Amino acid sequence: MTKFIIFTDLHMVPEGMAIIGLDPYRRLANGIAHVNRDHADADLVIFAGDLTHGGDRPSYERLKELLGRLAPPGAMMIGNHDRREVFLQVFSDVATDENGFVQRVIDFADCRAVLLDTLFAPPYDYPTSHAGYLCARRLAWLDQQLDSAGDRAVLIFMHHPPHATGFAGIDMIRLINDDEFYALVERHGNVRHIFAGHVHRTISGSSRGIPFSIFKSPVHQQPMPFDIPDASLSVDEPAAYGIALVTRDGVLVHTEDYEIARRDGTVA
């Protein structure tokens, strides 16, 4: 049984800065300590994009120092708030594909994890760069990974959801070539679950018959009204990460609001 921990939308900032009064460094530090205490047996901790808020080197360097505390192995992805070239300067040991995109495959006994790079940049032009996109080269790479998966169930991890989530502002900047993505996935028929971030909300369901899970951020969350057109609005709610377990029968998905979680209990 393979166990994944999923953090998304870390939004690290330079020292002394905050987001709506919240400290991304402290909140992620608490999350890493929580994983080390309760889930040190995880097979992989995935950081699913928006690693920084501004794509700047000081923020990536702060993040790298913090991730040095993580007990289980980790894997990095990038999102719309990241800058691919700056990220790779700081995290120079992170694997890329043959075209320089930050995507990779990690095989386990019971599944294949495919980590995608959905960053629609450079150029970093707002609002286009905040949407997700898989160019022809990235789709061809994904095609190869699905084709070579053998009997393994495939789990896809991507920053941008490849479908609508109900939030008006966020849905305008989701993966914009979702039809191409799903046509490829449906052709292979071996994708068991899709994991995403970007929305700063815990959402689950299915799209085109494939189950998906989206997780909240360790820092700030998306306001709940669905009709808000501004995707930049945020609220202070408990920090969270996701937990995914690959079982003999399928995939189990949990979410952990780790800053308010307790290990002990009281008899009701």
Mean pLDDT in residue range 47-74: 98
Q: Is there a domain that residue 59 lies in?
A: yes
Q: Say whether pLDDT at 32 is over 90.
A: yes
Whether 77 and 117 have beta carbons less than 8 Å apart is answered as yes
Asked whether residue 41 is domain-assigned, the answer is: yes
Distance CA 247, CA 13 (A): 37
Contact 200, 237 (CB under 8 A): no
- Tell me the three state secondary structure of residue 261: coil
Residue 266 in any domain: the answer is no
Percent of the chain, pLDDT > 90? 92
Residue 182 maps to a domain? yes
pTM higher than 0.85 for the full model? yes
Could you tell me if residue 264 is inside a domain? Answer: no
Q: Is residue 217 part of a domain?
A: yes
Residue 103: which CATH number? Answer: 3.60.21.10
Region 123-151 average pLDDT: 95
CA nearest to 153, candidates 187, 197, 108, 214: 108
Q: At 9, is the pLDDT very low, low, confident or very high (cuts 50, 70, 90)?
A: very high
Domain-embedded: residue 263: no
Mean pLDDT of the chain: 96
* Helix, strand or coil, per DSSP, at residue 36: helix
| Tokens encoding 102 | 């930050």
- How many domains does the chain contain in total? 1
Q: Measuring CA to CA, how many Å separate 205 from each of 143, 193, 237? A: 24, 10, 22
pLDDT average, residue stretch 9-32 = 97
Domain region containing 19: 2-256
